[in-house]
A and B are shown apart, each in its own frame.
Chain A
Amino acid sequence: MDVSLALQTLTKTFPSHRVVDGISLDVPKSCFYSLLGPSGCGKTTILRMIAGFAEPDSGEIVLNGRKLNGLRPYERPVTTVFQNYALFPHLTAAENIAFGLQRRGESAAAIAPKVTRMLELVGLQEKGGRLPANLSGGEKQRTALARALVVEPELLLLDEPLSALDPALRKRVRIELKQLQQRLGITFLFITHDQEEALSLSDRIAVMNKGKIEQIGTPREIYLTPRTRFVASFLGAVNWVDGAGIRPESTRISRQAPGNGARAVEAEVDASTFLGDCFHVHTRTAKGETVTAQIPHDSEAFANGDRVHVWWDRSDELPVQE
């Protein structure tokens, strides 16, 4: 595996607390890598240290074999798509995209075709002459992406770039973003607190909590074999029954006790929620633990107060260790 970005025991302390606490990770070349975690977990600080807006207290940032520590932001072969896009309001979309190329001293003749190609790549060929104020949220987001990509960075940092978009648009842009990354082969480091975003986009995910990495793996590994309760809960809903964790989609529900091999608990139905493609049946065990089962929308309906058995295969229990 060719490593693009390597973080080595990166640490950053603010007066109040240690925001980044000995983070080490390797980002492979051409990888879509996500840092996933709740707000305040330190992921944004890591991004700022890689971009050069903050310096780590200790630890190294190495990009393609070159140490970045101490370099000014404008000396680093890294660009960023900012959360609020940070487009220059006095420049048109095309001029925003040209900005980085101009700073590299490229001639106007060399810049023009690159800008045109980039506008086409993000589907804004008609909008190049517009000021950011006259672009929609999605168009601004693409302009910011094009502006950061056109300089062919060794690493692209994305700071929750989809969070300002409305939900329908977000899903569409997500697909486009993934396709673009695969086509260009540029290494993406994507910061997000949205587990669905991270799961659907990433080749690899590092789940962070309180300045530390909880687990690194592919989306499947992280979701199906979470190592900690935090990872299990952060990536999706979990039923915690007698210390075992089971996802609602692996949880079955029936009026009769199930056959051999399954673990079953008696429970009482608290509520049912219709979600369109499925039902969520919320139940409560004798111990007071709540268990949610996800069942097909055409299955038998359960009424509140019904006595039921909730059960699951032992192999579906999440292998949480701590």
Chain B
Amino acid sequence: MNRLRALFLAPSVGFTVILFLIPLSIIIGYSFQTRGVYGGVTAPWTLENYQRLFDPLYGLILWRSLVMALLATALCLLIAFPLALFIARAEAKWKSVYLYLVILPFWTSFLVRTYAWMFLLRDTGLINSLLLSMGLIREPLPLLYNETAVVVGLVYGFLPFAVLPLFSNLERLDKNLLEAAADLGATPWETLRHVVLPMCAPGLRAAGVLVFIPCLGSYLTPDLLGGGKSIMIGNLIQNQFTTARDWPFGAAISLALMALVMILMVTVLRQDAEDSL
């Protein structure tokens, strides 16, 4: 029995060790060393990489990343909630169709879909050409290569991660409770506010975490839609490993980001545990 269990667990343990723990140890090791001349790392061991994290310049990037990730998360939840409610209340045969539609974008590469947004937003893109030809504007609107474009891209990219947990939460919501609320004099809005939303707290938290974490660490979207500036922390990390050739500092930022995410996760999990008491 125990041997059988070990046999079945071996692949996942092996994957975790080889693909996660070993690379993580290497990154931790890098973060305490000195940059090599052409990249890579070299002696001596140092804490300098972590001290540099407190440079106001990097603080600004981190702050901007947090704000953009929070904004994208809030917008995702705002869009996802009515959508999830609609799907949860739909007829059984339509539910699966709608859910397929929500995850349909995953059938195409994220990179390709982000390029598609560039075609939509650029000066000669679909939106600007349309507005120009209709005479509504004279100059193309600056839709691409700014922070708004990045937030739009993040919301688009991670919306399904918000819809799915909210859907599963809303679908389990006892319809009797909605009737009970109406029976006691609650208007539909009051029912939403005092019954549906509080009961969806776990789903909202799950959706928030699932969107916020990849948003905070995202690199592709700000890189393509933000115009190559170090807009978010993901781009900063990438820069250290490529252009700046400062692997130890890149490793230190990665670990700091990871620590931040872990603190957030623990806080949310604690809240979940408290709610389920």
Q: Specify the chain B residue showing the minimal Cβ separation from A144.
A: B180
Q: In the complex, which residues of chain A have a beta carbon less than 8 angstroms from the beta carbon of B177?
A: 86, 88-89
Name B182's contact: one of A74, A148, A151 (CB within 8 Å): A74
- Which residues of chain A are within 8 angstroms of B182 by Cβ–Cβ distance? 52-53, 72-74
> Measured between alpha carbons, how far is A254 from B186 in the docked complex, in Å?
64
The answer to whether the Cβ of A90 comes within 8 Å of any Cβ in the partner chain is yes
B55 at the A/B interface (Cβ < 8 Å)? no
Minimum distance in angstroms from A161 CB to a CB of chain B: 13
Also in contact, A51 and B183, with CB within 8 A (given A88-B195, A99-B194): yes
Contact with A along B51-90 (1 / 0, CB 8 A): 0000000000000000000000000000000000000000
* A104 within 8 Å of B (CB atoms): yes
A52 to B182, CA, bound (A): 9
B158-206 interface (Cβ within 8 A of A): 174, 176-177, 179-187, 190, 194-195, 198-199, 201
1/0 per residue, CB under 8 A from A, across B219-250: the answer is: 00000000000000000000000000000000
Interface string of A55-83 (1 = CB under 8 A from B): 00000000000000000111000111010
Which of B174, B176, B183 lies in contact with A79, CB distance below 8 A? B183
**In the complex, which residue of chain B has the Cβ closest to the Cβ of A147?**
B184
Asked whether A90 and B185 contact (CB < 8 A) given A82-B176, A82-B180, A99-B194, the answer is no
- The B-contacting residues of A in range 20-45, CB under 8 angstroms, are none
A83 to chain B, nearest CB (A): 9
A103 touches B184 (CB 8 A): yes
Tell me which residues across on chain B come within 8 A of A319, comparing CB atoms. none
Complex Cα–Cα for A99 and B191 (A):
11
State the CA gap A87–B181 with chains docked (Å).
Answer: 9
Q: Output the least CB separation between B272 and chain A (Å).
A: 14
A118 to B182, CA, bound (A): 21
The listed residue (A74, A86, A99, A148) touching B176 by CB distance below 8 A is: A86
**Does A233 count as interface, using CB distance less than 8 angstroms?**
no
- What range describes how many residues of A lie at the interface? 20 to 34
Closest to B185 in A: A103
* CB-CB nearest in chain B for A52: B182
- Closest residue on chain A to residue B180 by CB atoms: A86
Cα-based distance from A148 to B180 in the complex (angstroms): 9
Q: How far is the CB of B162 from chain A (nearest CB, A)?
A: 21
Question: How far is A203 from B257 in the complex, measured between Cα atoms in Å?
Answer: 71
B-side binding surface: helix, strand, loop or mixed?
A: helix
Chain B residue contacts of A147, Cβ below 8 A: 184
Selected from B186, B198, B199, B201, the residue in CB contact (under 8 A) with A74 is B186
> Pick the contact of B185 from A53, A82, A84, A151 — CB < 8 Å?
A151
- Tell me if A100 counts as interface (CB < 8 A to partner B): yes
| List of A residues within 8 angstroms of B176 by Cβ | 82, 84, 86
Closest residue of chain B to A48 (Cβ to Cβ) is B179
The distance in angstroms between the C-alpha atoms of A82 and B199, with both chains bound, is 19
In the complex, how many angstroms separate the beta carbon of A242 from the nearest chain B beta carbon?
49
Q: Are A100 and B184 in contact (CB under 8 A)?
A: yes
Instruction: Tell which of A78, A86, A103, A104 touches B179, judged by Cβ atoms closer than 8 Å.
Output: A86
C-alpha spacing A7/B186, complex, angstroms: 25
**Which residues of the other chain, A, contact B181 by a CB distance below 8 angstroms?**
88, 99
- Alpha-carbon distance A86/B199, docked complex (angstroms): 13
CA A88 – CA B197 in complex, angstroms?
12
Whole-angstrom distance between the alpha carbons of A151 and B185 in the complex? 9
Give the chain A neighbours of B198 by CB distance below 8 A.
90
Q: Are B190 and A73 within 8 A (Cβ)?
A: no
Q: List chain A residues, Cβ under 8 A from B174.
A: 86
Interface centre among B179, B180, B182, B186 (most CB of A within 10 A): B180
CB-CB under 8 A from A86, the residues of chain B are 174, 176-177, 179-180
CA distance in complex: A89, B187 (Å) = 19
Q: Are B179 and A73 in contact (CB under 8 A)?
A: yes
Point out the residues of chain B lying under 8 angstroms from A100, CB to CB. 184-185
Contact of A151 among B180, B184, B190 (CB under 8 A): B184
A134, B90: Cα distance in complex, Å: 33
Q: How far is the CB of B148 from chain A (nearest CB, A)?
A: 37
Asked whether B199 lies within 8 Å of A73 as measured between CB atoms, the reply is no
**What residue of chain A has the Cβ atom nearest to residue B276's Cβ?**
A133
Please tell me if the beta carbons of B199 and A90 are within 8 angstroms of each other in the complex: yes
Q: Which residues of A sit under 8 angstroms from B185, Cβ to Cβ?
A: 74, 100, 103-104, 151
Q: 11 more A-B contacts (CB under 8 A) besides A89-B177, A103-B184?
A: A51-B179, A53-B179, A53-B182, A78-B183, A80-B180, A82-B180, A86-B177, A86-B179, A88-B180, A90-B199, A103-B186
**A to B CB contacts below 8 Å, 29 in the list:** A51-B179, A52-B182, A53-B179, A73-B182, A73-B183, A74-B184, A74-B185, A74-B187, A79-B183, A79-B184, A80-B183, A82-B176, A84-B176, A86-B176, A86-B179, A87-B180, A88-B177, A88-B180, A88-B181, A88-B199, A89-B177, A90-B199, A90-B201, A100-B184, A102-B194, A103-B184, A103-B185, A103-B186, A103-B190
- B positions within 8 Å CB-CB of A: 174, 176-177, 179-187, 190, 194-195, 198-199, 201
The 7 closest A-B pairs by CB, nearest first: A100-B184, A86-B180, A103-B185, A73-B182, A86-B176, A90-B198, A74-B182
